[in-house]
Structure 1
Amino acid sequence: MKSVQNTHKYDALHNCLLTIAGALNRPQRDVAMIKAAGIDLDRALFPLLVQVSRFGPIGVGELADRVGRDYSTVSRQVAKLEETGLVKRQKNRQDKRINEAAITLDGRAMTDKIDAQRVQVYQRVFRHWPESDRETLEQLLSRFVSDFGQTEGDENDEQKSDAG
């Protein structure tokens, strides 16, 4: 017999995660960060540049997944970043079919300015937190991200076992 799950058990957590994702993805926040960093960058390209800086070289398909846009849009936007000299496109070393974006020195200089602004934001957020609380939050979020990433595909496995 299948157990009945409490579907509301994780509502508060899910609401927090949605709120965090929404806050981090607000266009106004990107515009403010660009302005504060004193850089000249199209707001639509901002999240791509940051992702390439943090996770690159990164395949264009994976980059599209990370920013929630389709491959063709991200491919065009990466081309714009390449035209401005902030990223370079290259073939993946192991699989030449995969087009990757990698940060350039100019791109790194720009993301360093963005990172400096981000540090100021986080310092304001955590100004009243004990360092141990911030460290605990970081550890728990890292664990959550790792475990959450391992669940990809689990939904299909559960549906198959329920049908059998």
Structure 2
Amino acid sequence: MNQDNRQFYDALFDIIGLMNQPQRDNILLREAGVSLDRALFPLLVVIDRRGAIGIMELAGLVGRDHSTVSRQVATLTHLGLVTRHAGTSDRRERKVAATPEGLAIAHALDAARERLLQPIVAQWDEQDWKTFVSLLRRFADDALAHS
């Protein structure tokens, strides 16, 4: 493996490890003023980002088993944060969508993420940030296209 690729994977694994730390989730929830099981909020965020989504697709996006996600969505439904309804193309498929209450929580989490991000990138100039975001989006799109 060449040095550039090694540095890329090292940085990627560092970011993934950081994002997966339970204490980071607790900090985010506290900053957002949200009281929700930390296993549930990533589902709510993906539902907010993607709109109405099937359980299988949602499970794939959060890297969990579909039966686990189905149980977690049932909890979110019970809490009034999401609703389930039949899909438009296949009436047998159940789609999940955020309720206004669920959207409010997802937006509070977005605002908290923004506040937590600011000290990290405070010294970056605007062009560096725009370039980073553009290249990260390009990488994600290309990776998704090849999966």
Work out the number of aligned pairs and report it: 146
* One-letter amino acid of the structure 2 residue matched with residue 30 of structure 1: D
Cα pair distance change 1:97/1:21, threshold 3 Å: farther
Deviation at 1:31, TM superposition (A): 1.1
1:146 equivalent to 2:141? Answer: yes
Deviation readout 1:83-124 (Å, 9 max, x if unpaired): 001111122211223222111100011111111111101111
In the alignment, what sits opposite 2:131? Answer: 136
Cα separation, 2, equivalents of 1:85 and 1:31? 22
Contact 1:86–1:103 at 8 Å: present in 2 too?
A: yes
Structure 1 counterpart of 2:120, from 108, 116, 125: 125
Structure 1 counterpart of 2:26, from 22, 31, 45: 31
Answer with 1 or 2: which has the greater Rg.
1
In the alignment, what sits opposite 1:160? Answer: none
In the alignment, what sits opposite 2:90? Answer: 95
SS in 1 for 2:8: helix
User: TM-score, normalized by length of structure 2?
Assistant: 0.93
List gaps (5 residues or longer) in structure 2.
none
In the alignment, what sits opposite 1:60? Answer: 55
Cα separation, 1, equivalents of 2:133 and 2:126? 11
Deviation at 1:8, TM superposition (A): 3.7
In the alignment, what sits opposite 2:44? Answer: 49
User: TM-score, normalized by length of structure 1?
Assistant: 0.84
Q: RCO greater where, 1 or 2, for CA within 8 Å and sep 6 or more?
A: 2
Structure 1 residue runs of 4 or more that deviate by more than 3 Å after TM superposition:
none
Cα separation, 2, equivalents of 1:137 and 1:124? 16
CA-atom RMSD, angstroms?
Answer: 1.3
* One-letter amino acid of the structure 1 residue matched with residue 11 of structure 2: C
Cα separation, 2, equivalents of 1:92 and 1:25? 31
Cα pair distance change 1:135/1:117, threshold 3 Å: same
Deviation readout 1:35-84 (Å, 9 max, x if unpaired): 12112211111111111111121111111111111000000000000100
1:113 equivalent to 2:113? Answer: no
Identity %: 43
Cα separation, 1, equivalents of 2:92 and 2:15? 35
